[in-house]
Amino acid sequence: MSYGIIGKPLSHSFSKTCFEQKFEQLGLQNSYHLFEMESVSEFPKLIQAHSELEGLNVTMPYKSSVMDFLDEIDSEAQEAGAVNVIKIFRTPNKTFLKGYNTDIYGFSQSLKPLLKPEHRHALVLGTGGAAKAVSYILKRFGITVQAVSRYPQAEQLGYNDLNDSTIKRHLLIIQATPVGMYPNEQDVLPFPFSSLTPQHCCYDLIYNPAKTEFLRRAEVYGAVIKNGMEMLHLQAERAWEVWRQE
């Protein structure tokens, strides 16, 4: 049985290591492959060329755009507007693709221990597929969400709009962009870190490196910090459950 991940870039990804360790622990001869795609338009050819595939993970920047190529989408993933897991059903005459979002489970379970009553308002940095899953969960937790984008659209803020009062109001900050990810570890968003306090919680979905420049700077001002490693493992466990269900 064969599985893999699609995205670009994939040099940072621990998914292959994560699943190969699981296969070894379970005594399985399964394989896991990295499929770096220049465009999501390559997806149908990939599915056709690899008839042995039974499931795929999806990472940036294709978590939303890949939805157009699927036959069915789980209701939670549909509502969130992003897919990070695809289960592949094959018959002699047809290949059927169903999308799921296990980021929702991974993020919610890893965030819960950090939440405090004062975390009523959140800034979500980024508007891609990962940010959509994050926003979905935060709203389900009853937390108001303000999206921040380099290219803000209606109801979104730009980074130039972030000021001291905005940061003081939003005590939960989720970094959901690839900025600062390996190998560009010194990159950081134009964020007003000096407005952070020990009451802030800053969560960066990046797990490679373990402490991004964003988290390093947030820590200087006393904010509680967390990276995306626990989320990675939690969503991977749920992905495995999805792939193995009938």
Residues designated catalytic: 63
Report yes or no: 13 and 59 within 8 Å, Cβ to Cβ.
yes
Determine the 3-state secondary structure of 183 from DSSP.
Answer: coil
Report yes or no: 31 and 3 within 8 Å, Cβ to Cβ.
yes
Task: Give the list of residues 6+ apart from residue 220 with CB closer than 8 angstroms, or none.
Answer: 193
Q: How many CB atoms sit inside 10 A of residue 203's CB?
A: 26
Compute the distance between CA of residue 139 and CA of residue 137 in angstroms, rounded to an integer.
Answer: 5
Query: DSSP secondary structure string, 121-167?
Result: EEEEE--SHHHHHHHHHHHHTT-EEEEE-SS--TT-B-GGG--HHHH
Report yes or no: 66 and 83 within 8 Å, Cβ to Cβ.
yes
Place of tokens 């008839």: 51
Write b or e for each residue in 25-38: b if 16 or more Cβ atoms lie within 10 A of its Cβ, otherwise e.
Answer: eeeeebebeebebe
